[in-house]
Copies of this chain bind each other. A is one copy, B any other.
């Protein structure tokens, strides 16, 4: 038996999230991958994922692993998957990894991007990958709030109340508000994320950008640990799981361009 790791991307629009669900909920990424692998290999396997994205959330660099006795050469696995997968899911690479590798538990940090189309009239070509927000956002105010979220905190106030997490302390290495190809992009890099955490951060920064939340309130919101103190969960379609890192490198080493202005250094937790 081998342990195989896949890198994949998907447009989450048509899926009821990553995690397999009872069929009547609709298709899921996990269910689709497992059904395709069954067809390719005859094996019933369970895919372990780095991040269980919600319904409508996209992934540019999702990582999964599964155990298999297949003799398909590894470099042929992406093509085999892609020949049967729907066009909104693509396997980008496949490789053997150590037997005890677990895509979820071994992830050292992850990057999510939340995209916002802030023009009065939405760009039709971005409508399924970015939230349209017609109210002009003050980026400076969003950045002030974002910086106060960075660091190691108890993020209970930024977790859906339905979370099953038992620990709430996470390190947000970077929360950047950037301009990207005509869109506004909230980039969150952290060692782990609570349920809905990035979408609640996005909703909170949206309120900051509209002048409806003073950045100075952020420390008190964090300290309160109360979900109702943070703001609305932003819709799923603006969110993309961009990257998952398994090595020892810090986020600054992998994405130096995101740390040019300010931020936390991965692992050291020191304000720069």
Contacts and interface: CB of A to CB of B under 8 A. Distances in A.
A60 B90 contact: no
A125 B129 contact: yes
A14 to B, nearest CB: 11
Contact of A90 (B82, B88, B124): B124
Contacts of A272: none
A84 interface: no
Interface string A102-142: 00000000000000000001111101010000000000000
Interface string A78-95: 100010000111111000
The oligomer's copy count stands at: 2
Contact of A122 (B90, B123, B129): B90
A86 to B, nearest CB: 10
A58 interface: yes
A10 interface: yes
Contacts of A150: none
A11 B58 contact: no
A98 interface: no
19 contacts: A9-B123, A9-B125, A10-B124, A11-B124, A11-B125, A11-B127, A58-B124, A78-B121, A82-B121, A87-B122, A87-B124, A88-B124, A88-B127, A90-B121, A90-B122, A90-B124, A91-B121, A92-B121, A181-B181
Interface of A: 9-11, 58, 60, 78, 82, 87-92, 121-125, 127, 129, 181
Given A58-B124, A87-B122, 14 more contacts: A9-B123, A9-B124, A9-B125, A11-B124, A11-B125, A87-B127, A88-B124, A88-B127, A89-B124, A90-B121, A90-B124, A91-B121, A92-B121, A125-B129
